Amino acid sequence: MLYGSSRPALGFRAEAVVLNDSATGLTGRAVWTDDTDNHVYSELRGETTSAGNRIVGTFVGGSGRYKGATGTYEFSWRFLLENEDGVVQGQSMGLSGKVRFLSTPDEPGAGTSKP
């Protein structure tokens, strides 16, 4: 959930496909889906440090109101569960970043930055 004085009070579901190994670190792709089924796409890079898993995302576009999204974000990740099918669940902490949307003529207020 993005909330606060300059945030849109908007919830997203995020799904990611990643490769994580000790030689190259983490690399992957993620899709963030809002409650109206619009998507924001991002690339992920990460490294394991003594403080935990630090992940940096780069927004590379989207659909609907998020078309042309650019920006970056970062967070730390903690693994919580992995089931027998290989599905991993976890918790992100310290999420921060900024995204910028391209203006389109039919979307008033588009083109503004959202933290």
Q: What is the pLDDT of residues 11-40, one digit of tens each?
A: 788 888 988 887 888 899 999 998 889 999
pLDDT band at 6 (very low <50, low <70, confident <90, very high): low
Indicate if the pLDDT at residue 114 is higher than 50: no
Rounded Cα distance between 78 and 90, Å, is: 6
- Are 62 and 75 in contact by the 8 Å Cβ rule? The answer is no
Q: What is the pLDDT of residues 83-111, one digit of tens each?
A: 888 777 778 888 888 888 776 545 544 44
